[in-house]
Amino acid sequence: MLIVDEIKKNDPHLRLVALMFAFGFCVLIAGLWWVQVVSARKYQSHLETQAYRSVRIPSLRGKIFDREGRVLAENRPRYNLSLYLGDLRRQFDAAYDQLHKAAIQNQKQTIAAREKELGRSLTKAERKQFALTGDQLEQLRQQARQLVAGGAVAQVGRELGQPIAFDPVKFERQYRTRLALPYTVINNASPALLARYEEGSAAIPGVDVELQSIRDYPLGGTTAHLLGYVLRDDNSKEGEEAYFDYYLPDYRGVTGVEGSFDSLLRGQAGGGSVLVNSVGYRQSENILDAPEAGHNLVLTIDLDLQNAAAASFTAHQGEDARGAVVVMDVRTGDVLALVSSPAYDPDYYVGGLSAAEFQAETAFLSNTNLRPQINRATYENYAPGSIFKTVVAIAALEHGLDTNEIYHVQANPERPGRGIFYLGKRAIRDTAPPGDYNFQRAFIHSSNSYFITNGLRAGAENILRIGEKFHLGERTGLLPHQETGGHFPTQERVESSNWRAGDTANLCIGQGEIAVTPVQIAVMVSAIANGGKVLWPRIVERIEPQDPASGEAATNFPAGLVRDNLDVHPRTLSILRQAMLADVQSSEGTGIAAAVNGMQICAKTGTAEVQDAHNRDISQNFWFASFAPYENPKYAVVVMVEGGLHGSGGLDCAPIAHDIYAAILAKEKKATPQTVAKQ
Amino acid sequence: MNTETLNKPHVILDRLQLAALAGLMFLGAMFVFSATMASESAAAVPWFKQFWFHQIIWYVLGIGAGAAICLVDYRTLSRWSFVIYWAMIIFLVAVLVPGIGTVHGGARRWINLPFFQFQPSEFAKLAFILAMSHFLSRPADELKQRENFWKGICLMLLPFVLILKEPDLGSALVLVPTGVVMMFVAGTPRSYLLKLGAGVGILGVIFLADILFAPRALQLPMQEYQRQRLLVYFGASFADAKATPEQKAEARRVQAERSYQVNQAMIGVGSGGLLGKGWRQGSQTALGFLPSGAAHNDFIFSVIAEEEGFVGSILVLTLYAVVLFTGLRIAGQARDRLGKLVAVGVVTLIFSHVFVNIGMNIRIVPVTGIPLPLLSYGGSSVLCSLIALGLMQNVHIHRKGY
C-alpha cells in the first residue's frame, strides 16, 4: 500500500495514529461483518416480523354434483361493503389535528380563565397541570378515527337510503388487531344494494366492495342431510402451515358429504403476505404460496330420485315428520337418494338467513323431539321389527324349512281376529289372524307366531350367522363421521347363560337386542335382490379436479365392492323374493300401497315398537324395505318413519315407496329412447 | 535534483483524496434521496425543495468554501486562528441564550439565519483545530512546560463544556480525541498524555458507574435522554432498584421507545445482508420503521447498509480510509509542524465522526447524534467537513519540496 508505506518512513507519531485508525476500521469492519453477514438472517427475520403480516388464503372449495352432473353444492360470491382503513389514514390524521387544535384552544381558555380568577399569570408548574397527557392524546386519536369511520359508514347509509349501525367497539377491535384487513360495513349486500351503491357513492373514500366466497346449496333442505353443512373455520387443517397473523374466512365441512370428504373438497390453503408500515397500515400484498383448489365430487345420487323421495316424504308425512329414505342401486351399492327428515336449512350455517329466519331456525334446530340435526338414514339406531323376518326366513330356509308346511296360529282371546303365541308363560301378540299358514302367507301377514316358531327351530346361532353376513351391527362406511353401526348380538352373547329363548323370540320379530339404520337395511335388501352379494355402499362416484384444464385425471371410487357373500342356496333367496313380491302384489299383502303399474315390486313391511324404560310402548317405527323389479332387480327403496302408536309400514311407508318407484319408472321411460339412439 | 523537481508539472492537489471525496458526496446525494423520497407525500414536494437537492447545493457551497480556503496560505490563516476561535466561543455562548438559539428535540444547538440553521458546534470543531494547531506549533521544547500543557487542555475544555451544555454530547466528545491526538503528534511529553489518559479514563469510569449503578440522588446532573441513551447502550434497566412494578413497567415502555431508533437502524443494517436490497429498495425508511427525521442525517449509514449491504458498507469505509490515509500522508509531507497538526486534527476529527456514527448504527458505541461527514444531510456539517478538507488540501499545496 502506497499510502501506508509513505507513512511508515515518516515519524513514529503519525505511524501510531495511522495504526489507531487502521484498528478502528478493523473494529468497524468486524462489527459490520457480524451484523450484516453473520447475523443477517436474524435481522431479516426481525424485519419480516415487524413489516410482514402473513395471511392464510383459503382455497376454493370443490363443487358437488349428482351422478348426472347437476349441481348440489357450489360456491356463490357474496359481496360485502367494506371500509379500507389504510385509505382513511390521512382523514384520521386530519380529524385528529382538528380535535387536537380544539383541545389546545380549550386548554388555553381554561388557563386564561384560571389566570383571571387568580389575577396573576400561572407559574410553569401550574400550567403543567393543564397539559394534555399521552392518554388524552391517544383518546383524541381514537375519537378522531371513530368520527371518520362512523362518518363514512353514515354516508354509505345515506347513499343507500338505509341507516347502517356503526359499532365503535368492533371498529376499534378491527383497528387494533387487523388494521391491514378491511372493516365490513354491510355483510352480504343484496344486488339491488350493490347497484345503488355503485351508481351513487362509489366516490366515498375508503369504502369499497369486497368479495367473499360462500357455500351455496341450491336444493336447500332436500339435500341437507346428504350434503351436510360447512362451518366458518379459518384454522389450518393437518399438514398445512399453521401460523398466520391473519386468516381469511374459510369453511370446514362438518357433516354429511361435506364433512366426510372435507379434506378432498377443501383443497390446500395458501399463504400470502401483507407488507405493513410502522403503524400497521397495509402497504402492499403478494401471494407467496397459491392455494390449491379443492376437488369436485360427483356423487352417486340421482337428483330426480332425491327430489322425489324428499317431496313424497313431506307430502305424505308432513314437514316435521321424522324418518328417512334410502334408494340404492342393488347391483352396485350406489346410493341414489338419501333423505332424512326433518331437514334443516343449510344456509343457517353460512350466514345466509335474515335475523328472524335465523331465530326460527335456531329454535327448530334445538327441538329435542325433532332433533333435525340427526341424519336418520345413517346416524340413528332403530329396531327393525318385521323387516328382520327376511333374515329369519333365510336362516329358517337354510335350516330346512318346508315352505308348504302348515302352521296354525292360535286365536288371541282378548283381541278377536288376531293371533297369539305363547312362549312358556309369555304371550306374544300376533297381528296375523288365527288360521293356517304356509311360508308365503306367514310372510305377507308377517306372522310373529310363525317366524318365532321357525326361528327358534333354526336357532339363534343360525340367525346370527346370516345377520353377520349382512354385517348388521357394523358400519357401512358410507359417511364415516356420521354413522352408527346399529346393534347386533354376538355369538358369545347368544351362548352366554343369560340369553334366553325369549331373547331369540324377540330377535325373530326384530325387537329386543337389535338396532339397524336405514342404510344397513338398504344394503341388506340389495343383497337379497342381487343374489347374495353384500356390498359396500358408495356415495361418491368420482373425484374430479376443479379446473378441467389442470390435466389431473379424475379418480373413480370403485362401484359394487363386495363386502361379503351370503353363501346361501339360490333357492332360499328366490323363495324369499317371491314372498316379498307377494307382499306387494297379493291382495292380502301389507305393502300393497307401494304397487306401481309396470314394475314388479318386492317388499317387506315392518312396525317396530319403541319402548320406554318401563317396557311400555311409547311409539313405533314403520319400515318398508323393498326392491324392484322382481325379474331383474335394480333398485332398493327403504323407507322408515318414526311414527306414533297408530300406523304401520304398509300405511305410512309404502305410499312413499310408491312415489319413488313411479319416479324411477318415469325416468326409465324417458331414458329409454336415448339409450336406443346411442346404440 | 532541484531543477528536476521544479520542472515537474506540479501536482497541486491530492487527487486520490479528491476522488474519494467526490465518491462520498455522490453517495451522500444518492442516499439522502433514497432516505427521503420513500413516501409519496415527500415525492410530491417540488424537486428544488427536496433534501437531496439541498444537499447538492451544500456540496457546491462547501466545495466553493473549501476552494476559497485553498487560495490563502494556511500559515496566513493560522495567524487569525485565535480570532476565529474566540468568535466561535462567542457563538457557542450565544446559542445557549434562549432568544438566539433554537431548540430541536430538546437541545439548543442552532442559530436561525434567513436561509440556514447555523450550528455553531460544527464550526467550533474547525476553529478548535485551527487554534490548537496554532498553539501546538510552537517549538517542541515549550510543550514540555507544564503550563503549556494545561493551556492546551483549557483550549480544548472551553468549547467542550459549552457544547456539552447545549447539550450535544457527541460533538463535545469528538473534540477530546482530536485534541489529544494533536497534542501527541505535536510532541507533548508522553508522561503528560499518559496522565491525561489515566485521568480521563478514571473520570469516564466514575461517570459510567454513576449513571449505571448510583441511586438517583447521587447522580450527576445530566439530561435525562442522554442518561437513557447510555442505559440503552449498556442494556441496563431504566428503573431504580426500588421502583414499584408500575414504575418498572413504565420504565420498560420508555426504554423500548428509546431503544427503538437504534434497534430499527440495526435491523436496517443487518437485513441488508451481504449485497443489500438495492437502491431505494430498503423498507425500513419506506415503511417508517426508521423514523424519517433521522434516516437522512444521523442514521444515513443504516440506509446505505440496508440498500447496498456489507459490500456497500465496505465501500463507504474504503472511501473514508482513502480520505484518512491520504490525510495522514499530507500530514507527513507538510512543510512545517503547523501544517502537520492541521492535517492530523482534520483527519482525527473525521475519523472520530466516522467511527462513532457507524459504530452507533451497529451498536458498538452509544447513540450520540453526530453526523457522518459528507454523507449525512445537513448544511453545517457538510460545509464544515468541506472547509476542513479544503484546509488539508491547503497544507498539501504548500507541502515540502515545493
Q: Between these two residues, B232 and A165, which has the higher pLDDT value?
A: A165
Give the chain A residue nearest B288 (alpha carbons): A278
B139 backbone φψ class: left, alpha, beta (φ>0; ψ -120 to 50): beta
* pLDDT (0 to 100) of residue B7: 42
pLDDT at A159: 81
**pLDDT score of B45:** 75
C-alpha B175, offset from chain centre:
9
Higher pLDDT, A508 or B279: A508
- The answer to whether B310 contacts A278, with C-beta atoms less than 8 Å apart, is no
| CB within 8 Å: B329 and A50 | no
DSSP state of A482: S
User: pLDDT at position B108, please?
Assistant: 73
Chain A residues within an 8 Å CB radius of B275: none
Q: Cβ B314–A4 below 8 Å, yes or no?
A: no
**pLDDT above 80 (res A10):** no
Task: Look at A525-529, A613-617, B23-27 and tell me which has the smallest mean pLDDT.
Answer: A613-617
Q: What is the CA radius of gyration of chain B?
A: 22
Residue A316 and residue A312: Cα distance in Å, rounded? Answer: 6
The Cα A252–Cα B149 span in angstroms is 84
Q: Residue A23's closest chain B neighbor by CA?
A: B355
Dist CA A248 CA A182 (whole Å): 11
CB within 8 Å: A18 and B328: yes
Q: What is the mean pLDDT of residues A533-554?
A: 88
Dmax (CA) for chain A in angstroms is: 139
Q: B41-48 long-range CB contacts below 8 Å, 24 or more apart? A: B42/B292
CA–CA separation, B378 vs B297, rounded Å?
7
Contacts of residue A360, defined as CB under 8 A and 6 or more positions apart, other chains included, come to none
> What pLDDT score was predicted for residue A201?
53
pLDDT in tens, A507-519: 999 998 999 999 9
- Give the C-alpha separation, A62 to A546, whole Å: 6
Out of A375-379, A431-435, B294-298, B328-332, pick the least confident: B294-298
Task: Output the pLDDT for position B246.
Answer: 65
For residues B138-165, give the mean pLDDT: 88
pLDDT, mean of residues B319-333: 91
Instruction: Specify the residue for cell string 498524555.
Output: B193
Say which range, A235-239, A475-479, B217-221, has the weakest mean pLDDT. Answer: B217-221
Pick from A11, A27, A28 the residue to mutate for testing the B interface (most B CBs within 10 Å). A28
Interface test with B, best of A10, A11, A19, A278 (most B CBs within 10 A): A278
Q: Which of A188, A179, A122 is nearest to A145 (CA)?
A: A179
Give the model's pLDDT for residue A167: 85
C-alpha of A19 from chain center = 77
- Mean pLDDT across chain B: 82
Three-state DSSP string of B202-238: HHHHHHHHHHHHCCHHHCCCCCHHHHHHHHHHHCCCC
Contact A57, A181 (CB under 8 A): no
- Output the pTM of the full model: 0.66
Chain A residue with Cα closest to B267: A43
For residue A516, give the 3-state DSSP assignment: strand
Check if A44 contacts B (Cβ < 8 Å): yes
**pLDDT score recorded for residue A447:** 92
CA distance A45 to chain B (A): 8
Asked whether the beta carbons of A91 and A149 are under 8 A apart, the reply is no
Residues of A in contact with B16 (CB under 8 A): 3
Interface of B with A in 199-258 (CB under 8 A): none
Chain A residue numbers touching B325 (CB-CB < 8 A): 3-4, 7, 18, 21
pLDDT for the residue numbered A93 = 85
**What per-residue confidence (pLDDT) applies to A467?**
94
CB-based contact B340:B331 (threshold 8 Å): yes
pLDDT for residue A677: 43
**What pLDDT score does A641 carry?**
94
Query: Nearest to residue A267, comparing CAs of A299, A289, A288?
Result: A289
What confidence score (pLDDT) does residue B254 get? 62
Respond yes or no on whether the N-terminal peptide bond of residue B120 is cis (omega within 30° of 0).
Answer: no
Amino acid making up residue B343: A
Give the SS3 label for residue A592: helix
- What's the mean per-residue pLDDT of chain A? 86
Task: Considering only CA atoms, give the Rg of chain A.
Answer: 38
Which of the residue ranges A111-125, A213-227, A229-243, A275-289 has the most confident prediction, judged by mean pLDDT? Answer: A213-227
Closest of A493, A398, A396 to residue A453, by C-alpha: A396
Does residue A489 have a cis bond before it (omega within 30 degrees)? no
Question: Does residue B287 contact residue A278 with C-beta atoms inside 8 Å?
Answer: yes
pLDDT given for residue B249 in this prediction: 63
Q: Taking 70 as the threshold, does the pLDDT of residue B242 lie above it?
A: no
Residue B268 and residue B358 in contact, taking contact as beta carbons nearer than 8 Å: no
Residue of B nearest to A28 (CA): B359
A275 Cβ under 8 Å from any chain B Cβ: yes
Cβ contact A14–B324 (<8 Å): no
Lowest mean pLDDT among A168-172, A336-340, B9-13, B152-156: B9-13
Is A32–B267 a contact, with Cβ atoms under 8 angstroms apart?
no
Q: Which of A4, A8, A21, A286 to mutate to test the interface with B (most CBs of B within 10 A)?
A: A21
Q: How close A19 gets to chain B, by Cα (Å)?
A: 10
Q: CB-hemisphere CA count at 13 Å for A91?
A: 17
pLDDT score, position A194: 80
Tell me how crowded residue A678 is: count the other CB atoms within 10 A of its CB: 6
Instruction: Identify all chain A residues contacting B271, using CB atoms and an 8 Å cutoff.
Output: 40, 43-44, 46-47
Q: What is the mean pLDDT of residues A604-620?
A: 85
Q: Looking at A275-289, A309-323, B259-273, B320-334, which range is the least confident one?
A: A275-289
Nearest CA in chain A to B333: A10
Interface residue B53 vs chain A (CB under 8 A): no
* Residue of A13, A35, A274, A286 to mutate, testing the B interface (most B Cβ within 10 Å of its Cβ): A35
**A618: phi then psi, degrees, rounded to nearest 5:** -110, -30
Tell me what pLDDT residue B6 has.
45
Q: CA–CA separation, A108 vs A122, rounded Å?
A: 12
User: Which residues of chain B have a CB within 8 Å of the CB of A35?
Assistant: 266, 269-270, 362
Cell numbers 352396485 correspond to what residue?
A: A332
